[in-house]
Amino acid sequence: MRRRSEPHTFEQRLDAQKQRLERELVSLPHGKEREAVATRIEQLQAAAEMHEFLSLRDDAGVVR
């Protein structure tokens, strides 16, 4: 049976992925692959910000 490991929350998974990509980015030479990783990091940051915004909105009891 496969064990599930930390991190579990959406925020933790986003942060873990972002940190992994930032470590990878350091070792990549300038070029398309580095740009793709940098773009992915930006996307993860945007996802984290959107999730935080929507979570705050849900916590405030905003009706959709």
30 in a domain, yes or no?
yes
pLDDT at 35: 97
What's this model's pTM, rounded to 2 decimal places?
A: 0.76
Does any domain span residue 39?
yes
pLDDT band at 62; cut points 50, 70, 90: low
Domain contains 24: yes
Q: Which pLDDT score, from 0 to 100, does residue 60 have?
A: 73
Quick: pLDDT tens for 9-44: 889 999 999 999 999 999 999 999 999 999 999 999
Say if 2 falls within a structural domain. no
Q: How many folded domains does the chain comprise?
A: 1
> What's the CA gap between 29 and 34, in Å, rounded?
7
Q: How far is CA 23 from CA 10, 39, 46, 58, in A?
A: 20, 14, 19, 33
Does residue 49 surpass a pLDDT of 90?
A: yes
Please report, for residues 6, 7, 15, the alpha-carbon distance to residue 3 in angstroms, rounded to integers and kept in the order given. 10, 12, 21
Three-state DSSP class for 24? helix
What is the rounded average pLDDT of the residues 35-63?
88
Domain membership flag for residue 1? no
Question: Would residue 4 count as lying in a domain?
Answer: no
Give the range of the structural domain holding residue 32, as residue numbers without chain letter: 10-59
